[in-house]
Structure 1
Amino acid sequence: MLYPELFTSLEKARWNMADDIPWDQFDAGLLSDEQAITIKMNAITEWSALPATEMFLRDNKDDSDFSAFMSIWFYEEQKHSLVLQEYLRRFRPELVPTEEELHAVRFEFDPAPPLETLMLHFCGEVRLTQWYRRASEWHTEPVIKAIYDHISRDEARHGGAYLKYMKRAIDKFGDSARAAFAKLGMLMAASGRSGKPLHPTNLHVNQSLFPNDTVQSRLPDPEWLERWLDTQICFDKTWEARVVGGILRNLSSLFDQTFETVQDLSRYRKTLKVA
């Protein structure tokens, strides 16, 4: 089982919201209204770990090891939402998300193949690591900069944990797992070229609710994510290259191959013999 090892390693890295956030360094003059609103949107988005966890537990009911790991992932993701809400509660209380705004992003996700979902969320963690790293640089107020740095590091650790479960899946399912991971890896690594980098929060996940079936569509401002990326934190080609590079490097290690480009991954996928 991977859960005991992951519990120990993530427990050692865990930060404390009361002691490890420099609340006393807050500088009101360095927080704009525009920046504060983005914090609210991130707080609501992070709350969507709740329906994602419900999905994972439902679709992995035969995998107690991975389901147990969800206890760690869910706790830490909800803490991300909570620390952002706490920041607003202390310094911009009028922007604290309402319970209704938080509950709006809790809705049922349609069942999906577990291996594809695992890869999707691995790529999501790689992307979030870079999004939050860039957010930390964009913000000017020191407390929120520190918060985003903590969150970014958590997302990187979560990606590493998902990668361990991906390695386990390859040991168990062989080329079927490789094909699933390569398929989603291509999709997620190439998505930035279309002008809409894919992430679990902006994918359609419930056909009966379409088009109001993405986390993003259920935010108070559904257009926020693109604006945050394009004109606020300015997640440009250089930063997107870090996401793509992270996906390709990890898949290279996972498959014992060398993928310099998405095209390399595509060619490898075609060599897999899957019934």
Structure 2
Amino acid sequence: MLYPELFKQLESVRWDMDKDIPWDSFDAAKLSDEQARTIKMNAITEWAALPATEMFLRDNRDDSDFSAFMSIWFFEEQKHSLVLMEYLRRFRPDLVPTEAELHEIRFEFEPAPALETLMLHFCGEVRLNHWYRRASEWHTEPVIKHIYQTLSQDEARHGGAYLRYMKRAIARCGNEAKAAFSKVGVLMASARRTAQALHPTNLHVNKNLFPRDTIQSRLPDPQWLEHWLDKQINFDAAWEGKVVDRILHNMSLLLDRSFKSVQELNRYRKELTATLAAAGAAPVAKAA
């Protein structure tokens, strides 16, 4: 089991909201209304760990180890929402999200293949680590800069934990897991070709609720994410390149093959798909 070891690792570096956040360093003159509103949107978005955890537990009923790990991930992700709300409660109480605004993003995600979902969220952690690093640079108020840097480090650790479960999946499922991970990896490393930000909170997850079946679509300002990325924290091509590089680097380690580009990863995906198809066709041919 991975859960006991991951619990010890993450427990050893867990930060305390009262002791480790420099609340006394707050400088009101360095917090604009524009910046404060983005903190509210991030606080609501982080609350999405609630429906995501419900999804993970439902779709991994046969995996008690991973489900137990969700107790850590859920706690730390909800803590992210809480510390952002605490910041607003102390310094901009007019912008604290209401319970109704938080509950609006709790809706059911449709069942999805567990391996693909695992890879999707691994990539999401990589991307969010970089978004929060950039947000920390963009903000000018010292306390919120520290908070975003702290959250970015958590997201990196979560990505590392997901990677451990991905390695375990390959040991158990072989090419099936490799195909699932490479397929989603190609998608999540191709954000330059899409009109929207590729992150789990911005993907459609319930066709019966379409088009309001993404986390972002249910925020008080559904257009906030793109504006935050493009006009505020300026998550430009250079930063997007860092995300892609991290995904490709980890896929290279995971799959024991070097990937310098999304195209190389996609070629590998096609090779696996052909191998699996041939393996699946073999029994039929033999029977015939």
AA paired with 2:112?
A
* 1:221-263 Cα shifts (integer Å, max 9, x gaps): 0000000000000000010001000100000000000000000
Farther-moved stretch of structure 1 (189-198 vs 1-10): 189-198
8 Å CA contact 1:192–1:198 kept in 2: the answer is no
Q: Indicate the residue corresponding to 2:235 in structure 1.
A: 235
Q: Indicate the residue corresponding to 1:29 in structure 2.
A: 29
- 1:194 positional shift: 2.1
Q: Indicate the residue corresponding to 1:169 in structure 2.
A: 169
Instruction: Tell me the distance in 2 between the aligned counterparts of 1:133 and 1:195.
Output: 22
8 Å CA contact 2:46–2:78 kept in 1: the answer is yes
Is the aligned partner of 1:193 residue 2:193? yes
Instruction: Tell me the distance in 2 between the aligned counterparts of 1:99 and 1:80.
Output: 16
Instruction: Tell me the distance in 2 between the aligned counterparts of 1:66 and 1:101.
Output: 30
Q: Indicate the residue corresponding to 2:286 in structure 1.
A: none
AA paired with 1:249?
H
8 Å CA contact 2:197–2:226 kept in 1: the answer is no
Identical amino acids, percent of aligned pairs: 73
Q: Indicate the residue corresponding to 2:284 in structure 1.
A: none
Q: Indicate the residue corresponding to 1:129 in structure 2.
A: 129
AA paired with 1:41?
M
Q: Give the structure-1-normalised TM-score.
A: 0.99
Q: Indicate the residue corresponding to 2:148 in structure 1.
A: 148
Q: Which residues in structure 2 correspond to 1:1-275 (within 5 Å)?
A: 1-272=1-272, 273-274=275-276, 275=280
Three-state SS of the structure 2 residue aligned to 1:165 is helix
Three-state SS of the structure 2 residue aligned to 1:75 is helix
The answer for unaligned runs of 5 or more in structure 2 is: 281-288
8 Å CA contact 1:133–1:152 kept in 2: the answer is yes
8 Å CA contact 1:129–1:156 kept in 2: the answer is yes
* 1:113-166 Cα shifts (integer Å, max 9, x gaps): 000000000000000000000000000000000000000000000000000000
Q: Give the structure-2-normalised TM-score.
A: 0.95
Aligned residues: 275
Instruction: Tell me the distance in 2 between the aligned counterparts of 1:232 and 1:110.
Output: 32
The answer for unaligned runs of 5 or more in structure 1 is: none
Instruction: Tell me the distance in 2 between the aligned counterparts of 1:115 and 1:93.
Output: 41
Farther-moved stretch of structure 1 (114-123 vs 263-272): 263-272
Instruction: Tell me the distance in 1 between the aligned counterparts of 2:192 and 2:245.
Output: 12
Give the CA RMSD over aligned residues.
0.6
Instruction: Tell me the distance in 2 between the aligned counterparts of 1:204 and 1:268.
Output: 27
8 Å CA contact 1:204–1:213 kept in 2: the answer is yes
Three-state SS of the structure 1 residue aligned to 2:190 is helix
- 1:195 positional shift: 3.5
Q: Greater Rg, structure 1 or structure 2? A: 2
Which consecutive segments of 4 or more residues in structure 1 shift more than 6 A?
A: none
Three-state SS of the structure 1 residue aligned to 2:56 is helix
- 1:193 positional shift: 2.7
Three-state SS of the structure 1 residue aligned to 2:222 is coil
AA paired with 1:19?
K
